Structure 1
Amino acid sequence: MELQLSLVQTAALALILLVFGEFARRRVAFLEKFCIPAPVVGGFLFALLVLVLRQTGTVEISLDTSLQTPAMIAFFTTIGLAGSLATIKKGGKLLLIYLVACWTLAFAQNIIGMGMAKLLGVDPMLGIMAGAVSLEGGHGGAAAFGPTAESMGVEGATTVAIASATFGLVAGSLIGGMLASFLMHRHKLEVPAKPQTIAQKVGAGYGVKKLAGGGGFAGGPATGEDLDEAIKQPGDEISNYSSILSTSTIIGIIMVLGMLLGDWIAQMTGFSLPAYVGAMIAAVIFRNLNDKFNWVKINDDSVNLISQLTLGFFLTQAMMSLKIWELANLAGPLSIILLVQLVFITLFSAIVVFRIMGKNYDAATMVAGFMGHGLGATPNTLANMDSFNAKYGVRSEKAFLIVPLAGAVLIDLVALPWIVWCMNLVAG
């Protein structure tokens, strides 16, 4: 028996699963502790149900996920709108150094993934899926690039990418704080004195103000309360019908221009550029030109809301349409690749990132964050740093300024083109 859901039915089911995921995430301690995104919770549970029904011969469920692509393109457009190069200048030298470390990790993760895949006799494209796509990219990157890889003829790419992202999410949460604590004891670091006025709450989202686009490629926006509780000042813009309408219009126009840009690049160079990457590039260009010439007013709060909704929708659809049975023959090689990736990022964080960021309490806090978004997502980053700082009773102001800015948005400026280049390389 086969059950086919129409476009509207699939979209409605995705929204129901997204709401259920939010409900479960806030009430199940494990999900809350490891910052498991709501789309992953709801969508993955449905994918498991589909697996059980298929394996028992009860029914096969077919979904019409046509709306997944436009939602995905809209999400990556919001990421581009958050990519203001002026932000790098505001972060100073330390932000730039941290960014270089993030970009280096993205390069290394793909090289390790492709190299290990060849060594184990599997398609190098699957190595990329278990590289920067899913680790530094999180579930957002996995759900975006997986279907692209499958369109290039690589079966099971989405499932491998999602599985890798889930592994990274849990591993990054487990190891980040422990590694930072180890560095504190190993190097006998001093804990800075508490500020005399502590009106600071230690909690996810503090120190992060107006991260347009939410979370970005490195894991998607910090949905729900993760960034909604960010510090807001009197006079901050709020979203209303007018701002949502104007922001949606800008996003829609950039989506079209980005898709045209991707088609033009493909025609001129033969280089396959996914529509969502073209949209992100067009959005980055527009944002920085608009910052200079002030053509239109961009309401960052509206961008955040649209980013959260589009990511939640497209990621839920990606998760619910997973074909989990495709992992059967790849479980062994994938486990080895991910283990090597885990060892590398742990050594890179402890030996390189910790040293170049100053070998102090702030640097240890940044290592906890680096492990969070290098393997998982922005909420994991905040949770890792929050937990580590709460242990010693002092918040690292530098870490909570630099790490979310880099991990949430700015990584994408280099990581996405690098991933696209690698995919074209192995596909050719």
Structure 2
Amino acid sequence: MNSFEVSGLLSLTIAIVVFFIGAGLNRHIPALRNWNIPEAVTGGLLAAAATLLIHRFLGISVNFHLDARDTLLLYFFTGIGLNARFSDLIAGGRPLLTLLALTLGFLVIQNLIAVASVAVLGLPEGITVLLGSASLIGGHGTTIAWAPILTERFGLTNAMEVGVAAATLGLVVASLVGGPIAGFLVKRFHLQGPQAQALSIGFPHENERDVSDDLDHFSLLRTILVLNVAILCGYVLDELLLETGLRLPLFVACLLSAIALTNIVPRLLPTLGWPTRTRSLALTSDLSLSIFLAMSLMSMQLWTLSGLGLALVIVLVIQTAAAVAYILFVVFPAMGRNYDAAVIAAGFTGISLGATPTAIANMTAVTKLHGASPTSFIILPLVSAFFIDIANAFAIGFFVN
């Protein structure tokens, strides 16, 4: 088997092309847009299918270098933080606690499904957490971090492969299911967001070519400068957290730093021209998320899923059905049965089956079509990228021990 290494710059260039292909398909296939499928998901899955065909028929494994993707993730979450005013956080206090409780509840359900599936299908005991919250709620990062420990503890020789396969399938499903769920709820309950309010990420579809207000090279460079400063502060905060023994993803530190800066600096320097809720920040966040997601999906090595057995597919089908039922009958009613609840329903698929960027991409696709939901973009990342990681670590540790 030959391997073809794609350099970082070429990987980034291909990701941009992949996004444009997805955008073109979404524009010409109304169902994709009506189902709120993000453009990057459409193009990314198509690119992943292309690399699968190259592997199958030419015997070449395509490997993308993804350093740019990790940097874009920092820009994206820092942009989310820069939009987070304390007044919004206070207003979102109760929904935040409600969503956290719902997510913790589903973490338990997800692991119980994994326990039952392992028992019924006669799978190795140590594989339980890899079919539950480690790979699905935790995603690829959590899986990669815990797989060596599970291998040592239970003697699983394929722990990494199983965990990565489950996380990959979950990511694909989350990308495809979130938008249609929200679309169904919006139509079923006749919901609509505030049309006059600016989006947290991106622009409404009908106004994509309107660049009449603050979007110029000065505002864009100012936004990038502020993002860079916030990211640098995030690196410092991450080091401080590590010294206390608290290990969290770097983007969480950047998110928290941005929240602190955006609520302090404008008060001290009101004439500075801070980028909160500006079109330049919305554009930068949308660009970062779109290319990040395109790179993540196009780099999936789908051929690694072969040979892992029917059992894995069965478990993922059960987990998906449980997640959809939980979203429709628990999450949406508990969050208020309103438009924000529908947007959060789209994002919850990313929490429960995929990853936080997938959740945000699903929510972005919905809000571009139906209107803004700023509260959703504040509380969901805090739950999925901060609180739930801590809870998941305890859950995984319980199974390991």
- 2-side partners of 1:413 and 1:282: how far apart? 13
Q: Which residue is 1:52 aligned to?
A: 53
Give the whole-Å Cα distance in 2 for the aligned partners of 1:85 and 1:227: 31
User: What is the percent sequence identity of the aligned residues?
Assistant: 18
Seen in structure 2, the aligned counterparts of structure 1 residues 116 and 228 have a Cα distance that, compared at 3 Å, is farther
Partner residue, 2:316? 334
Aligned amino acid, residue 312 of structure 1: S
What's the RMSD between the two structures over aligned residues?
A: 3.4
Instruction: Determine if contact 1:125/1:423 at 8 Å carries over to the other structure.
Output: no
CA distance, structure 2, for counterparts of residue 180 and residue 44 of structure 1: 26
- TM-score normalised to structure 2 length: 0.77
> Deviations along 1:260-281, whole A, 9 cap, x unmatched?
2123212312x32111111111
Tell me the CA shift for residue 344 of structure 1.
1.7
TM superposition score normalised by structure 1: 0.72
Residue type of the partner of 2:173? F
2:363 to 378, 396, 403: 378
- Read off the aligned partner of 1:324 and give its amino acid letter: L
Task: Name the SS for the 1:128 alignment partner.
Answer: coil
Q: Deviations over 1:135-194 (max 9, x none)?
A: xxxxxxxxxx52453244344656544533443454444445656777x6xxxxxx9xxx
The alpha-carbon distance between structure 1 residues 171 and 42, as it changes in their structure 2 partners (threshold 3 A), is: closer
Q: Do the aligned residues in 2 keep the contact of 1:105 with 1:374 (CA within 8 Å)?
A: no
1:320 to 1:410, Cα distance in 2 relative to 1, 3 A? same
SS at match of 1:67: helix
The Cα shift of 1:379 comes to 4.2
Cα deviations across residues 49-91 of structure 1 (Å, max 9, x unaligned)?
11122233532212211211111111111111111122255xx
Which is richer in helix? 2
Q: For residues 368 and 419 of structure 1, do their structure 2 counterparts lie closer, same or farther at Cα, with a shift above 3 Å needed?
A: closer
Mapping 1:344-363, distance limit 5 Å = 344-349=326-331, 352-353=334-335, 357=336, 363=337
Q: Indicate the residue corresponding to 1:81 in structure 2.
A: 82
User: 1:413 — aligned with what?
Assistant: 382
Is 2:10 aligned against 1:25? Answer: no
CA separation in 2, counterparts of 1:277 and 1:150?
18
Where does structure 1 lack aligned partners over 5 or more consecutive residues?
Answer: 134-144, 185-190, 192-201, 215-222, 358-362, 387-399
Q: Kindly tell me: are residues 146 and 67 of structure 1, through their superposed partners in 2, closer, same or farther at Cα, counting changes over 3 Å?
A: same
| Cα distance change, pair 98–151 in 1 and its aligned pair in 2 (3 A) | closer
Residue identity opposite 2:374 in structure 1: L
For 1:227 and 1:408, how far apart are their aligned partners in 2? 21
Please state how far the C-alpha of 1:411 moved relative to its aligned partner. Answer: 2.2
Among 121, 128, 137, which residue is 2:133 paired with?
Answer: 128
Q: For residues 41 and 3 of structure 1, do their structure 2 counterparts lie closer, same or farther at Cα, with a shift above 3 Å needed?
A: same
The answer for the alignment partner of 2:173 in structure 1 is: 167
Whole-Å separation in 1 of the counterparts to 2:326 and 2:179:
16
What is the DSSP-based 3-state SS (H/G/I as helix, E as strand, rest coil) of the residue aligned with 1:56?
helix
What SS is found at the alignment partner of 1:107?
Answer: helix
Match of 2:123 in 1: none
The 5 Å alignment of 1:239-254 reads 239-254=215-230
Q: CA-to-partner distance for each residue in 1:198-222, whole Å, 9 max, x for gaps?
A: xxxx98x75252344x1xxxxxxxx
State the distance in 1 between where 2:185 and 2:57 align.
43
Please, which of 98, 111, 120 is the counterpart of residue 108 of structure 2? 111
Contact 2:36 2:366 in 1 (8 A): no
Q: Does 1:210 align with 2:198?
A: yes
Q: 1:239 to 1:119 in 2, by over 3 A?
A: same
CA distance in 2 between counterparts of 1:227 and 1:259 reads: 38
Aligned residues of 1:372 and 1:380 also touching (Cα < 8 A): no
Instruction: State how far apart, in whole Å, the 1-side matches of 2:185 and 2:69 are.
Output: 37
Rounded Cα–Cα distance in structure 2 between residues aligned with 1:206 and 1:180? 13
Residues paired across the two proteins, number: 358
Report if aligned partners of 1:109, 1:132 keep a CA contact under 8 Å in 2: no
1:106 counterpart SS class: helix
